[in-house]
Amino acid sequence: MSRKFYEAVLGFMGYTRVRQHENGFDFGWRCSVGLRRALGKGKHEIHDRYSPGLHHVAFRARPGPM
């Protein structure tokens, strides 16, 4: 997984990596964000956007000083 990418993006929003384990890592701030490696039979299946699970996360940002 792309830990450095998520540390940069989520870190910019105030999240910090709180745990790392063999299948992924977790970030925390006001709510937690966990990223996991695909395992089991789903690992090799084509993505189906209508299957159960989380497929998209959006964050809202307020304009602020640069």
Residue 26 lies in a domain: yes
User: How many domains is the chain built from?
Assistant: 1
pLDDT tens-digit readout, 6-48: 899 889 888 999 998 888 889 988 778 887 777 777 778 777 7
Residue 53 lies in a domain: no
- The pLDDT score that the predictor gives to residue 53 is 67
Residue 13 lies in a domain: yes
Residue 44, amino acid:
H
CA distance 15 to 31: 9
Residue 29 lies in a domain: yes
Six-digit token string for 41: 């039979």
Q: Are 51 and 38 in contact (CB under 8 A)?
A: no
What domain range includes position 38? Answer: 3-44
Say how many C-beta atoms besides its own lie within 10 A of residue 11's C-beta. 13
pLDDT tens-digit readout, 44-58: 877 777 776 666 677
CA distance 53 to 42: 12
Residue 50 lies in a domain: no
